[in-house]
Chain A
Amino acid sequence: MNKQIILSLLITVALIGGAVFFTRDNSRESNLDGIASIEMVNGKQIINMSAKGGYSPRIVNAKAGVDTIIKMKTEGTFDCSASLVIPEISYQKLLSPTGVEEILISKDKAKGTMQGLCSMGMYNFQIRFN
């Protein structure tokens, strides 16, 4: 019986460990795809992002103190990422399954780290203004 309990606990710990390994928020690795997504148009900073099964890129480094527009692209997006929330600017919207949504961030809000999430909290992204 004791052997069984130990074996059971070992298997459980191994499986849960595997699950944690896969869920852990590995944002540092997805940092790279954030480079090419920003452009300046008429003094406004435009951040191009996409939402489908999560947000991409996960981390964006942007300039602070500039009027900013996030262009969030959806393409057959029916999962939670279509239900976008950005708490700091009180933004909440259900994005249409296919299209581009423009989200305005005024220059006085464009500072620090801004967090975006889907309404159930499964997916998230960060815009770091610096």
Chain B
Amino acid sequence: MSNPELLSEEDKIIKWGEFVYALPISALVILGFVLIQKAGLANFINSSDVSYGTAFVIGLIASVSTCLAVVGGIVLSLSANSAKRGGTWRPQVLFHIGRLVGFFVLGGIIGLIGSTFHFSIIANIVLGIIVGIVMLILGINLLDVFSPIRKFQVRLPKCFSRYVLNISERNYYFTPALFGAGTFFLPCGFTQSMQVYVLTAGGFIEGAITMFVFALGTFPVLALLSFGSLNIANSSWRGTFFKIAGILVIALALLNITNSLVVAGVITPIFNL
């Protein structure tokens, strides 16, 4: 279907036909996501005291929960964008290593100092909206419907895109790893309550291992998203995949933005996921 040598040609044509498959497939994924939330996953956690095994299970559950709306959305948008620009596996691996190491170190620090990095509600709202807007832009770029009309192409501010998109272009070691570690601070209910638990547990080692095991639990789904993007990006489903990824990232971005506005009291709750 696509020929790598014709990439520049490919970029110039909007392949609306790809939406024929991309639309129903993304709708199916969205329905599946909603059904998983409705299955009441949180109720699978019965024990009130957290062993490393429980931390792992909480991580597994978190990775298919609404947490996915933030962390998973970012992983998908970054890795699909990176794959689209011919990025390699290296930044993706570094991202995941950064995430695991970051959770270990930061979890340890929380356990040691006995207080968490507490964001005020305003900071949470602002962060949620910023993350939502960045995801929205990355998602629209993935759709490839604007590229023929370059001047209308949605672009991130220069200083910001330098950090986000150059991950793929220059294969930096440091930036993707830093991004991975940074996901520790992203608003995610599960991550936050694990952090609170670690506080009460106390001690560097206890905190570090608990947060590390939790991050390990989220790893399978996140790894599937990032390495899956790379693999499919090299197949004949390339175009359709980027459209699906784009639609899903946009949907997750809108969910984030709506939820932030709900918390801000701007709009009344719409979803009850």
Contacts and interface: CB of A to CB of B under 8 A. Distances in A.
Interface of A: 1, 4-5, 8-9, 11-12, 15-16, 18-19, 22-27, 52-54, 58, 75-83, 85, 87, 92, 94-98, 115, 117-124
B273 interface: yes
B271 interface: yes
A11 B29 CA distance: 13
B31 A19 contact: yes
B264 to A, nearest CB: 8
Which of B20, B40, B200, B272 is most buried by chain A, counting CB atoms within 10 A of its CB? Answer: B272
Interface string B229-263: 00000000000000000000000000000111111
Among all A-B residue pairs, the 4 with the closest Cβ atoms: A80-B189, A121-B259, A53-B42, A98-B48
Contacts, number: 154
Interface stretch (B82-90, B120-128, B139-147, B151-159): B120-128
Contact of A78 (B31, B193, B260, B261): B193
18 contacts: A22-B34, A25-B270, A52-B43, A53-B41, A53-B42, A53-B43, A58-B272, A76-B45, A77-B42, A78-B189, A79-B42, A80-B188, A95-B193, A97-B197, A98-B48, A119-B263, A122-B259, A123-B273
B50 to A, nearest CB: 7
